[in-house]
Amino acid sequence: MRQLNREKRDEKYIRQLKLIYYTASFLAFSGGVAIYAFFRNINNMAMFRFIPKPLFLVSLYNPIKTESIWSNLFIYNLPYGLWCLSGLLFIRAIWLQNIKWRSVYGGIFITIVMSYVILKLPGITPGTFDIIDLVFMGLFAFIESIIFNMFIRRKIV
């Protein structure tokens, strides 16, 4: 009977944890999108070559002077880090209890994301290559893995 109660409690904890991961993934993705929508000039964005530009985005644009390194990092590099984090959190939520597949899919995701940024260098993918994008993505991935290993992994294994 105690074993059954423990299993139910563990299942409930895993469901709650997955919900937290899905929510955090959505928030990280939304944060990156918000930075683009509010602070980047959408007239020269590559994604609007393929999809129509929503008219309301023009009214949301709020230009920031990018004279400081901090504003440049916020506007140009932070969205990539947030999007990378979003994908990793989503993969972590799906494969929370399966370490093998989580590692495989996480590795594939990181490879694709980093390749997209690196392929900007020779002009294969649209955009301007920036090494700091890679630094932000790696930093967010590293921080997420440390938080998971220190606080969560021990509770679900």
Q: pTM value? A: 0.83
Tell me what pLDDT residue 2 has.
65
Interhelix angle 78-94/99-118, nearest 10 degrees: 160
Tell me what pLDDT residue 114 has.
92
Burial class (CB within 10 angstroms; exposed 0-12, middle 13-18, buried 19+) of 123: exposed
What is the token pair recorded at 110?
């990181």
Other residues' Cβ atoms within 10 Å of the Cβ of residue 12: 10
Tell me what pLDDT residue 31 has.
94
Torsion angle of the four alpha carbons 127, 133, 134, 140, in this order, in degrees rounded to the nearest 10: -140
Contact between residue 96 and residue 17 where contact means Cβ atoms under 8 Å apart: yes
Q: How many residues does the chain have?
A: 157
Tell me what pLDDT residue 37 has.
77
Tell me what pLDDT residue 70 has.
87
Tell me what pLDDT residue 44 has.
67
Other residues' Cβ atoms within 10 Å of the Cβ of residue 117: 19
pLDDT tens sequence for the chain (157 residues): 566 677 777 888 889 999 999 999 999 999 998 888 788 777 666 667 777 777 777 677 777 777 888 888 888 899 999 999 999 999 999 998 888 888 899 999 999 999 999 999 998 887 788 999 999 999 999 999 999 988 887 777 6
Tell me what pLDDT residue 46 has.
65
